[in-house]
Amino acid sequence: MVEPLAGEVTVYFYAILFARYPEVRPMFPQGMDAQRDRLLRALLRIVDLVDDPENLVRFCGHLGRDHRKFGTVAAHFPAVGECLLASLARFAGPAWTPEIAAAWTKAYGTVAQVMISAAEEDEVVRPAVWPATVVHRVPRGNGIAEITVRPHMSYEYAAGQYVSVETPWWPKRWRYYSVANAPRQDGTLTFHVRAVPGGSVSHALVHRAAVGDVIQLGPPMGDMVLDAADHSELLLVAGGTGLAPVRALIEEVARRGGCDQVDLFLGARTGAELYGVDDMLRMAQRHHWLSIKGAVSHEDLPGIRGSLPEVLAAYGPWHQHDVFLSGPAQMIVSARETLTLTGTPPNRIHHDPFETPVLFTP
């Protein structure tokens, strides 16, 4: 009933939340469009998972741990619940019966308790955020920069995971980036950042960040890690800055002593956008098990021409491989469909969530 009016619901929700509880306003960014969208998608996801308790608990626990970086504490949840139910009641109209109100009250209480418990358990073992100093910055052209940071405290993660980042220029705006390296002895992390149109955080990192600046890191997330693979033959597919987690996975394979075979496919629209190839070729020279192919889809160049899904179909089948996909959402969707149609079991295809990762669960 409410979904067609979702935009109005979230605007109303935050309006009454800030009016009734003005002390929570500083926890949020000045621009609220992205925040309202996240709230809506989180609500829809909870409804989607209502008959799947295992994944619902996993999703809400993930939300609870992630909310620590915003300064959320248990005392905030009653206020949010009050304003959320008031918003749903206002826009549902006659559909908001006593039975529906009771069900949503119980549901919110359950969601809140799972989030609170997950956050409290997480607080025992690690901080909410990690300050990190920029120690190196390398422009790669086409609006891409490699940013290397050194966390001020020990930061444990697995190759292939992604991290939420907050910059000092856009407080409270967190964006997600994959780490482009396996864990190093010196503890540094490298991110491949592309300045996307309208992306305030990405533009700040690419064009403004300098050595000595301090950013904030959220906890590592994601299941696209080497331990998810069951086989010793890997297919890695990277489009654009999707190369970052794939590069980290290759470093991790090398650290573990190699693999039977790793096939890497890099894709871009044009040759100029096909970044990181030289670096990957150097890695292939060091590791006999690594094979690399690059493809462009919108330019006539020597070599492979076509989109990554088309090229995968031409060089397959890949049903004996564990597959890791990283890049634009549409590329991942098309590649997954192509691989599935040609015999790759879906449980062997691994990729990060799309858009705002914390709002998704398998």
Spatial CA neighbour of 67 closest among 14, 8, 27, 31: 27
The Cα–Cα gap between 362 and 347 comes to 11
What pLDDT is stored for residue 330 in this prediction? 83
pLDDT at 87 over 60: yes
Q: What is the mean pLDDT of residues 307-333?
A: 85
What pLDDT is stored for residue 313 in this prediction? 83
Do 94 and 174 lie in a common domain?
A: no
pLDDT at 260 over 60: yes
Do 136 and 115 lie in a common domain?
A: no
Which among 192, 217, 242 is the end of a domain? 217
pLDDT at 343 over 50: yes
The Cα–Cα gap between 184 and 187 comes to 5
Angle at 337 between CA 333 and CA 341, to 5 degrees: 175
What pLDDT is stored for residue 124 in this prediction? 95
In a domain, residue 347? The reply is: yes
What pLDDT is stored for residue 362 in this prediction? 45
DSSP letters, 281-294, are HHHHHH-TTEEEEE
Q: Give the helix/strand (H/E) hosting 304.
A: strand 304-305
Percent of the chain with pLDDT over 70: 94
pLDDT at 310 over 60: yes
Do 195 and 272 lie in a common domain?
A: no
Do 159 and 134 lie in a common domain?
A: yes
User: pLDDT confidence of 303, banded at 50, 70, 90?
Assistant: low
In a domain, residue 281? The reply is: yes
* Residue-number span of the structural domain to which 311 is assigned: 226-355
In a domain, residue 351? The reply is: yes
Do 40 and 100 lie in a common domain?
A: yes
In a domain, residue 360? The reply is: no
Do 337 and 270 lie in a common domain?
A: yes
Do 284 and 261 lie in a common domain?
A: yes
User: pLDDT confidence of 142, banded at 50, 70, 90?
Assistant: confident
Do 106 and 209 lie in a common domain?
A: no
Q: What is the mean pLDDT of residues 177-206?
A: 94
pTM of the predicted structure, to 2 decimals: 0.84
How many domains would you assign to the chain? 3
In a domain, residue 282? The reply is: yes
Which among 163, 185, 217 is the end of a domain? 217
3-state SS track over 172-230? CCEEEEEECCCCCCCCCEEEEEECCCCCHHHHHHHHCCCCCCEEEECCCECCCCHHHCC
pLDDT at 361 over 60: no
Do 289 and 169 lie in a common domain?
A: no
Secondary structure letter of residue 105 according to DSSP: H
Do 97 and 178 lie in a common domain?
A: no
What pLDDT is stored for residue 299 in this prediction? 64
pLDDT at 324 over 50: yes
- CATH code, 37: 1.10.490.10
Do 100 and 199 lie in a common domain?
A: no
Cβ pair 322, 350 in contact under 8 A = yes
- CATH code, 205: 2.40.30.10
What pLDDT is stored for residue 252 in this prediction? 95
Do 29 and 48 lie in a common domain?
A: yes
Q: How far is CA 134 from CA 154, 162, 212, 314, in A?
A: 16, 17, 5, 42
In a domain, residue 361? The reply is: no
The Cα–Cα gap between 122 and 130 comes to 14
Q: What is the mean pLDDT of residues 204-217?
A: 96
Q: What is the mean pLDDT of residues 162-191?
A: 94
Q: Is 3 exposed, middle or buried (0-12, 13-18, 19+ CB in 10 A)?
A: exposed
In our burial notation (b when 16+ CB lie closer than 10 A, e otherwise), range 328-349 reads: eeebbebbbebbeeeebeeebb
In a domain, residue 195? The reply is: yes
Which among 74, 92, 125 is the end of a domain? 125
The Cα–Cα gap between 195 and 180 comes to 17
In a domain, residue 362? The reply is: no
Q: What is the mean pLDDT of residues 88-96?
A: 93
Q: Which residue has the higher pLDDT, 222 or 235?
A: 235
What pLDDT is stored for residue 315 in this prediction? 85
pLDDT per residue as tens digits for the range 53-82: 898 998 899 889 989 998 888 999 999 999
- CATH code, 294: 3.40.50.80
User: Cα dihedral sign for 70, 76, 77, 83?
Assistant: negative
